[in-house]
Amino acid sequence: MPDWSRREWALSVAAGLTLPSWAIAQDTQKKAAILPTAKELPGPEPIPPAVLSKPLPTIAVRAGSPSFNFQMVDTSLQPADRKSLWVLDLAFKPLRMRTVEIPGKGRKTIYYMYYRVVNRTGEPRLFVPQFSIQTNTNKRYDDIPLPQAVRLIQAREDPSTQLLGSVDLVGMIPPSKKDGVDDAVFGVAIWDNLDVKASRFSIYVRGLSDGYKEIKATATSPAKKTYKSLQIDFQIYGDHIELHEDEIRLMDPAYNWVYW
């Protein structure tokens, strides 16, 4: 039977499709299985090709405005980039924490990154964001769909701005072409776990560009494709057992572009 990835699931939901019973059963079996260690985890799913998809809702913001506590990302092309690739503009807030009620798990502390994306490429672009945390203890965590947390985060960050979670964020971002105004999509990535032994971690963001590299097979590894990704680096200070969000700080430099 086919194996549906989370991104295929999201695309199916975005398109208004119903998953077949075998896909639901298969997903249930996966959740019951013991998760492998970070070394055994596969890389992120390839970004799907641009297809007809729903347009994402945008919010008008002042062009070039960093806004309070937002970190702006430089999207200039790197020497290793091909000249024809496109890159979406991203601004993000540092990682924050919130306690929420999770169905079947009770009250848990979640970690989230609040961000906004603007398309200044001149053409509509398919946005399929992939956010992953990689710790210095070799653990990896992918963002999770948690609608009830999205509502709480929106109330905390900006109640007047529509906020989208991981499943709702699969769609087309229209180009921003107005003078002095950016049409921004506001999103949030959420994690419900983090290794208490970690002192540093990176958040890898894929889906902001169509850049990729082909890596040839060697005697010890198969051929693979890596994608232009944003790596955001954090340091953890203080007591890791009772962690507070002000103890999670951006490193200097805060980010860099990599192929992952």
- Same-domain pairing of 127 and 8: no
Residue-level pLDDT at 79:
85
Pairing of strands 224-236, 248-259: antiparallel
In terms of domains, do 55 and 166 share one?
yes
Q: Match 């192929």 to its residue by tokens.
A: 259
**Do 7 and 57 share a domain, yes or no?**
no
Same domain flag for 9 and 75: no
Q: What is the phi/psi pair of residue 145, to 5°?
A: -80, 125
- Output the six-digit token pair for 138: 């070799």
Q: What is the pLDDT of residue 139?
A: 95
Domain span holding position 27: 1-34
What residues pair up with 224 in beta bridges, in sequence order? 215
Contacts of 82 (CB under 8 A, 6+ apart): 211
For residues 25 and 73, membership in a common domain is answered with no
Instruction: Supply the pLDDT for residue 167.
Output: 82
* Whether 57 and 10 share a structural domain: no
Does the bond joining 48 to the residue before it have cis omega, within 30 degrees of 0? no
Mean pLDDT of residues grouped by 10 in the chain (260 residues)? 47 45 48 44 60 83 81 90 92 94 84 97 94 95 94 95 92 93 96 91 96 91 92 88 89 95
Residues 159 and 43 in one domain: yes
pLDDT value at residue 10:
47
**Same domain for 124 and 104?**
yes
Task: Give me the pLDDT at residue 43, please.
Answer: 64
